[in-house]
A and B are shown apart, each in its own frame.
Chain A
Amino acid sequence: MEFITRHKPIVTFVFCSLFCIISLSIQGGGFTLSFEGIISGVVSPFQKLYNGIHSGTSKLWAGFSELDRVREELKFTQQKLQSFEAMDENINQIKLENERLRNLLEMKEKLRYNSLPAFVIAKDPDNWYRTVVINRGSNDGVDVDMPVVGYHNGEKGVVGKIAEIRGSVSKIEPVISPEIKIGVKVGEGGYAGLLSGYAHNSNLCKIDYVSRAAQIKFGDVVVTSGLAGDFPAGLVVGTVVQTEMHELNPYQRVIVKPIIDFDVLEDVFVIKKSPDRGLFDTFEEVK
């Protein structure tokens, strides 16, 4: 006992180091998850409170400073609304025609999913990971692996998927995370590939397993293919910024800039779509 008291810093250091090493060694185990859950459960109410105070103050200030701008925007929006109302009639006609043509071609109608709006209440405090925490959890019907989308400059883009859920908060694994894997199609040719984050600290994504013969150019749009089961088809992920070909690699690699700017991301939508179980069941049967 005297030894422990006398060498308190060293004993504490050894004990804490062992904790870290054991925890890292059994990563992904129930112990790790439950421990993180306890900390997360304690911390998340404070995060919500801080977020509430911050956004409340910002909104109050914005109310004073941005009144003129809002008035102008209101006028502009009203004008736009007028023109959209005029367009509505045309759109209805086009929809009916589209439906008729689809029926003629016997095409399946594209599935639509309900989405749940959410706010970002916290982001990864470290530079090594880019985790995003939102104010919706299992109480709101959110489930692991549900896709999340957001808007940036009026464009809709994939944010990521739900990685972990608690009662009222969830963690999102963003598309810029190297751990994520999304089936995508690139460019006009719709070349298939597997998208993941470029590096832990990067704002870019990479697509692997793209055929070397694929003709891909700068600015080509990358959309989800819907093949992996998690994401519905046709969601925009980003645009191509570069392609890389190495002699030893039978595929080319495509570097993608996501639509979403993760530095300014505040509002997201969780798409209430669970992964296609059929695909997983098939894998289980094969096993």
Chain B
Amino acid sequence: MIVTYIITIAVVFLSFLIQGHQSFDALRIAGVKPDLLFIITVYMGYSFGSFAGEVTGFGSGLLHDSLSNSPLGLLTFPKLIIGFVVGMFGRSVLKSTTPTIILLVFVASIIKGIITLILAFIFSEAYISSIIHVIIPEAFYNAILSPMLFFIYDKIYRSELEREGYL
């Protein structure tokens, strides 16, 4: 289990460095870029349950907030919730097929976006147009990339998944 934690910390940190680098902006489509940290949060919840999902979401959210001008917690709380909720279903309920993964990440991204919007409305500044300009495009982008990233993560966590009996 310790190995899983170390690998997760390494993956989250690497995703954060890649996502925070200026060259990552070249991947912007329709003004948005994919959220790699969110996808790893969903993956951890989906594969290893609520605890792994929420801890990954909390950690990656704190990293997000530390770099952003957002109030601390604004980008953390939605990831924490999604990590926890996705972990309640997991692989035992949702079979690991490409359409399932795409749908799961798409819906999770939409919910994350709506929670962020509500929090921004309460604690910062929010615009309803963000639904069209941020939430939906980002959800599509995350969903399209998710099968490939889930495949890579499956390879990384192969031994853990075999132990759990999913592979």
Binding site for B on A (CB under 8 A): 8-10, 12-13, 16-17, 19-21, 23-25, 27-28, 32, 35-36, 39-40, 43, 46-47, 50-51, 54, 120-129, 131, 133, 163-164, 171, 173, 177-179, 199-203, 262-266
In the complex, what distance in Å separates the CA atom of A201 from the CA atom of B89?
A: 32
Are A266 and B63 touching (Cβ within 8 A)?
no
Are A32 and B72 touching (Cβ within 8 A)?
yes
Interface hit among B46-54, B93-101, B159-167: B46-54
Are A200 and B127 touching (Cβ within 8 A)?
yes
Binding site for A on B (CB under 8 A): 13, 16-17, 19-26, 28, 31-33, 35, 37, 49-51, 54-55, 58, 62-77, 80-81, 84, 87, 116, 119-120, 122-123, 125-127, 129-130, 133-134, 138
In the complex, what distance in Å separates the CA atom of A177 from the CA atom of B54?
A: 30
In the complex, what distance in Å separates the CA atom of A21 from the CA atom of B76?
A: 10
With a cutoff of 8 Å between Cβ atoms, the chain B residues found around residue A178 in the complex are 125
Besides the contacts A39-B62, A125-B24, what 7 more A-B pairs have beta carbons closer than 8 Å?
A: A16-B54, A19-B73, A121-B22, A123-B21, A127-B31, A127-B134, A202-B31
Are A20 and B80 touching (Cβ within 8 A)?
yes
In the complex, what distance in Å separates the CA atom of A84 from the CA atom of B133?
A: 46
Query: What are 10 residue pairs bridging A and B, where the CB atoms are less than 8 Å apart in the complex?
Result: A12-B55, A16-B58, A24-B119, A24-B122, A25-B123, A28-B71, A35-B72, A129-B68, A164-B69, A201-B127
Q: Smallest Cβ distance from B158 to chain A, in angstroms?
A: 24
Q: Smallest Cβ distance from B133 to chain A, in angstroms?
A: 5
Chain B residue at smallest Cβ distance from A264? B25
In the complex, what distance in Å separates the CA atom of A199 from the CA atom of B128?
A: 10
Are B22 and A122 touching (Cβ within 8 A)?
yes
Q: What number of residue pairs across chains A and B have CB atoms under 8 A from each other?
A: 159
Q: Which of B22, B24, B51, B87 has the most CB of A within 10 A?
A: B22
Secondary structure of the B contact surface, majority rule: helix
In the complex, what distance in Å separates the CA atom of A122 from the CA atom of B24?
A: 10
In the complex, what distance in Å separates the CA atom of A179 from the CA atom of B71?
A: 12
With a cutoff of 8 Å between Cβ atoms, the chain B residues found around residue A8 in the complex are 51
Are B20 and A47 touching (Cβ within 8 A)?
yes
Are A129 and B71 touching (Cβ within 8 A)?
no
- CB < 8 Å neighbour of A23 from B23, B49, B51, B72: B72
- CB < 8 Å neighbour of A126 from B13, B17, B75, B87: B75
Q: Which of B55, B72, B80, B87 has the most CB of A within 10 A?
A: B72
Chain B residue at smallest Cβ distance from A263? B25
In the complex, what distance in Å separates the CA atom of A203 from the CA atom of B133?
A: 11
Provided the pairs A13-B84, A20-B77, A46-B13 are in contact, do residues A126 and B70 lie with their beta carbons within 8 angstroms?
Answer: yes
In the complex, what distance in Å separates the CA atom of A43 from the CA atom of B22?
A: 16
Are B71 and A23 touching (Cβ within 8 A)?
yes
Are B127 and A51 touching (Cβ within 8 A)?
no
Provided the pairs A24-B123, A178-B125, A264-B25 are in contact, do residues A9 and B49 lie with their beta carbons within 8 angstroms?
Answer: yes
Chain A residue at smallest Cβ distance from B49? A9
